Chains A and B, each alone.
Chain A
């Protein structure tokens, strides 16, 4: 028999097999087989207790976390840690979608603390209290309270006015704004803004600037203004949700910022973190306020011309010190496949022993008091006491999902005011008052429109 005949015979056989009746018979038999095999049986999702998956946004402060501590956790517990990170905006959307849809792609979300109101109220993350997480009492209270929803103190949304605060996320890095100053210009740490101003007046631009702020609209200029506002006794919002920055305190704080204009770079309205920090690393500014991540860079000879010269302290006070807090905080996903593994990881990472290692080995912004004040750690990393001091004095931003819009309104007004003040080089109080009052009116109108505040 030739090959051709063989093939013809085979196709005849196939044709015969594929008659409708046979197809139906086969279908029934196949279905029974599949049903028996359990492929279409209801799926039982099993918790994978051998691993956890952590997602985060990219940040240099997270490097020790994923390069060392995640691996160390595996060594100590046998639970593997999968770590994924992406840029800030993408991660915010990714984890929100994951949590809202309970996809279960992640067990732990590393978040910015201002995501907590939305993520807790929207049940994107689980209550750590309900999961039985044991909080280390050594964690500094100001950092710990960033994970509570509703907030323990301060303004509360009406929907949550009588709710008992629950812990929805746990601080893992106590990032906070601190003052960086050049020891060549300040033999001792400046205590007030007047101290910084007095030194600024002696500087000559463009070789040396007295102050280097972030001036870009929105969050950047807010991070410049908030330590000033808090130190002058103002508030972003008062406990009744009325804006607390358009009074004499807020105007005084902004006028103080404007008083540095002759001693700041000309293009400061377009300055963001990279430009602001570069001036300090090049030894071209006497002082600035910035988050703790810069501490690691000032002594790195590959990027700094001021190795050993930059010291750190809590942000200056006028009435009081009031740095803005911006912790890295971790929540357990609503659809986490291994919530108990995630609890175990968070308890382990925030334990006093692990935090001590974080502070000693990396000079990281540890979350426990003992780590930040540990003599051995402090000897190696001189910024740690400044972090502890700043966290203890820190002021949180309004705890509401509408905070980004409020920040955008005020941050835009501040940027407009700065541009106007740079152009006029005088009349600072009037400029400050006009723009702050406008921003206050806009925020009040927005909150009224949103409802649930007044």
Chain B
């Protein structure tokens, strides 16, 4: 009798434990379904499309790896990859540096710090297409203000969008203007949540401002910086709107990022399969870089702890 009772109690316990353990998974189901619908399905469909040939707007059937072969033997694709890499490297480094400097400045109890913060964040709140239009009007060689400004300074009119190098640097400037606030905000949050004891201890020990920054503030800020850089890198690879409005990838191919080339390939040249092959390749590289960044972040955090 006692044995039977024990068995029943044990079974009930097990059922209860199982129920308790399964609740979180059940609660996750709606989120997983939503994620699968908006993220997983398009990716899988993209992979499927990259293996198909499209012509006359129609799916002409399975094409094996033809799209990948075509893309990876296309010099314009590699040119777009190189331009994207340069663009991302430049904007992310400049924005991180500027964001860090601004955050260090604003983190101190300055007068009007709140106002400065709002002013710094403002560019980020403007829609990228509008940013493109604003800068198009500034850069335009006929009605813009940049050319007359240079001329007033005794320099020649640069015609920013008419030359490959100046157009590229002009786009970098636009991106830096728009997205430095994001880096600034993330780094500022990191600075404000940082433990102050080690820094104060260093000051008491007579460390200079620079020594405190390089030996204490920066190491403590490293995980936050990594997160900021990773997020911004992912975002910068997909930069599209401003470039589409300002240069459409020109002059020549000097500002043609992979996003512009893939868009043209899909919607202008009607080669969906090829466009998807491009983007799947880029996605794979990005995932690899992100995994590496996450691993690096973990190691850094462990080292700090």
A→B interface (CB under 8 Å):
89, 92-93, 96, 99-100, 117-119, 121-122, 124, 215-218, 265-270, 275, 278-279, 401-402, 404-405, 408, 412, 415-416, 419, 422-423, 449
Q: Would you call the interface of chain B mostly helix, strand, loop, or mixed?
A: loop
Contact flag A266-B162 (CB < 8 Å), given A401-B270, A412-B253, A449-B70: yes
- Known A-B contacts A100-B57, A402-B269, A408-B268; the reply to A416 vs B251 at CB < 8 A is yes
Chain B positions within 8 Å of A270 at CB level? 140-141, 159, 161-162, 167, 247, 250-251
Contacts of A89 in B (CB 8 A): 267
Closest to B142 in A: A275
Let me know if A401 and B251 touch, CB within 8 A. Answer: no
Residues of the A chain whose Cβ atoms lie less than 8 Å from the Cβ of B216: none
Q: A419 and B163 in contact (CB under 8 A), knowing A216-B250, A267-B141, A275-B142?
A: yes
Query: Bound state CA distance, A124 and B249, in angstroms?
Result: 30
Known contacts: A266-B159, A267-B141, A401-B55. The answer to whether A118 contacts B270 by CB under 8 A is yes
Q: Is the CB of A96 within 8 A of B250?
A: no
Q: Which residues of B contact A404 (CB under 8 A)?
A: 268-270
Instruction: Name the CB-closest residue of A to B253.
Output: A412
Residue B43 interfacial (CB < 8 Å):
no
Q: Does B248 contact A (CB under 8 A)?
A: yes
Chain B interface size band reads: 20 to 34
Measured between beta carbons, the chain A residues less than 8 angstroms from B250 are 216-218, 269-270, 412, 415
Near A by CB (< 8 A), chain B positions 124-174 give: 140-142, 147, 157, 159, 161-164, 167
Q: Which residue of A lies closest to B249 (CB)?
A: A217
Please indicate the chain A residues that have their CB under 8 angstroms from the CB of B248 in the complex.
Answer: 216-218
| Docked pose: A438 CA to B248 CA in angstroms | 21
In the A-B complex, list the 3 residue pairs whose CB atoms are closest, starting with the nearest: A267-B141, A122-B56, A217-B250
B58 within 8 A of A: yes
> How far is A401 from B249 in the complex, measured between Cα atoms in Å?
22
Interfacial chain B residues near A269, Cβ < 8 Å: 159, 161-163, 250-251
Report the Cα distance A258→B248, complex, angstroms. 23
Query: Could you say which residues of chain A place their CB within 8 Å of the CB of B268?
Result: 404-405, 408
- A89 to B58, alpha carbons, bound, how many Å? 18
What secondary structure prevails in chain A residues at the interface with B? helix
Query: Which residues 238-281 of B sit at the A interface, judged by CB distance below 8 A?
Result: 247-253, 264, 267-271
A419/B57 contact (C-beta < 8 A), A217-B249, A404-B270, A412-B253 known: no
Set of chain A residues within 8 Å of B57, measured between Cβ atoms: 96, 99-100, 118-119, 122, 124, 401
> A residues within 8 A CB of B157?
266-267
What is the number of contacts between chain A and chain B, taking CB atoms within 8 Å?
A: 93
Chain B residues lying within 8 Å of A117, measured Cβ to Cβ, are: 56
* Min CB–CB distance A62 → chain B (angstroms): 22
Q: Using Cβ atoms and an 8 Å threshold, which residues of chain A touch B252?
A: 217, 412, 415-416, 419
Min distance, Cβ B226 to any Cβ of chain A, angstroms: 38
Q: Identify 10 new A-B residue pairs, CB closer than 8 A, beyond the known A270-B161, A412-B250.
A: A100-B58, A267-B141, A267-B157, A268-B162, A269-B250, A270-B251, A404-B269, A419-B164, A419-B251, A449-B70
B-side contacts of A92, CB under 8 Å: 267
With A267-B142, A268-B162, A415-B252 in contact, is A118–B56 under 8 Å at CB?
yes
B70 contacts which chain A residues (CB < 8 A)?
A: 449
Given contacts A216-B250, A217-B251, contact A122 B58 (CB under 8 A): yes
Contact indicator B142/A278 (Cβ below 8 Å): yes
- Alpha-carbon distance A268/B250, docked complex (angstroms): 13
Listed by A's residue number, 16 A-B pairs whose Cβ atoms lie within 8 Å are A89-B267, A96-B57, A100-B58, A117-B56, A121-B56, A122-B56, A215-B162, A217-B250, A267-B142, A267-B162, A269-B162, A270-B161, A270-B162, A278-B142, A404-B268, A419-B251
Contact across chains for B58 and A408 when beta carbons are under 8 A apart: no
Q: A414 — nearest CB in chain B belongs to which residue?
A: B252
Shortest A156–chain B CB gap in Å is 14
Chain A residue, CB-CB nearest to B271: A405
Contact residues in B for A266 (Cβ distance below 8 Å): 141, 157, 159, 162
Closest chain A residue to B55 by CB distance?
A: A401
A92 to B269: give the CA distance in the assembly, Å.
12
**Separation of A71 and B68 alpha carbons in the complex (Å):** 51
Name the A residues within 8 Å of B270 (CB-CB): 118, 401, 404
Chain B residues near A405 (CB-CB < 8 A):
268-269, 271
Shortest A166–chain B CB gap in Å is 15
Contact residues in A for B267 (Cβ distance below 8 Å):
89, 92-93
- In the assembled complex, the CB of B216 is this many whole angstroms from the nearest CB of chain A, namely 49
Asked if A265 and B142 sit within 8 Å, CB to CB, the answer is yes
* Least Cβ–Cβ distance between B121 and chain A, in angstroms: 31
